[in-house]
Amino acid sequence: MNNKSGAVGSCDFEPHSARPKVDVRVERNTESVLALKEFLTEVLRSPSDFKDNYELALALKSQGALAKYTDKSRLIRATSLNTMKRIARSTIAGGFEAIDRLRIAAQEAILQEENKATSSNKVTKAGLAKRVKELEGENLHLRTDLLLLTSVFRESLNQAKQYARKSGKESVLEACRNDQRILLDKLSLLKNANVQIPAEIHAL
């Protein structure tokens, strides 16, 4: 009995099988790597939201820079590149290569957004300035053509008046005057103040 009771008593004092002690740093680094993967995925989904994030842009330039990236609000902590590779290999499908592909893709997506913004700026500023110059050039050509046509029209009126006088018939001269007045009345509707009918044309 004593032996039995002693055996039972000895069992009560046997230590429980020791559980493996988890390093807090390992837990935090694992949490950080997983959070980083999710963050890079988010950047890929909405790159426009991160195109002005200077720190992120620097981090995406290289593997080492990404390992040092920190964002406390997202539980992303800086670590060594080797640590990141080791944890990614055991916790993420595709290992560290998967994270690196996300890094490169996120960097390219942000660059594309920056290029869009630059192109848009050119359209609104440089593009419009160029268009204004083109329109000014077109306007100059039109004004030159209009002045030329006005000169030709003036010569035509003078020639018609001379032919009417040479005819020696008052009826022909009167008909010429009436026709030319009608034409001049139409020209008076011109909106361009720079196009003026010479005074000698009015004195028919």
pLDDT in tens, 85-129: 999 999 999 999 999 999 999 999 999 888 876 666 666 677 777
> Is residue 120 domain-shared with residue 33, that is, in the same domain?
yes
Find, among 21, 28, 20, the residue nearest to 84 by Cα.
Answer: 28
CA 82 to chain centre: 37
Better-scored residue on pLDDT, 2 or 33? 33
Q: Per the structure block, which two tokens stand in for 140?
A: 């100059």
Give the range of the structural domain holding residue 50, as residue numbers without chain letter. Answer: 23-124
Residue 179 burial (CB count, 10 A): 14
Final residue belonging to a domain, choices 124, 143, 164 = 124
Q: What is the pLDDT of residues 41-65, one digit of tens each?
A: 999 999 989 988 999 999 999 999 9
Q: Higher confidence at residue 38 or residue 161?
A: 38
Judgement on whether residues 135 and 183 belong to the same structural domain of the protein: yes
pLDDT at 20: 55
Residue 173: how many other CB atoms lie within 10 Å: 17
Beta-carbon contacts of residue 118 (< 8 Å; ≥ 6 apart): none
Q: Where does a domain end: 124, 139, 166?
A: 124
Q: Are residues 40 and 89 in the same domain?
A: yes
Say what the pLDDT of residue 199 is. 52
| SS3 call for 29 | helix
C-alpha radius of gyration, the chain, whole number = 45
Average pLDDT over the chain reads: 80
Query: Of 124, 146, 181, which residue constitutes the final position of a domain?
Result: 124
For 56-75, give the DSSP string. HHHHTT-HHHHHT--BGGGT
- In this prediction the pTM is 0.50
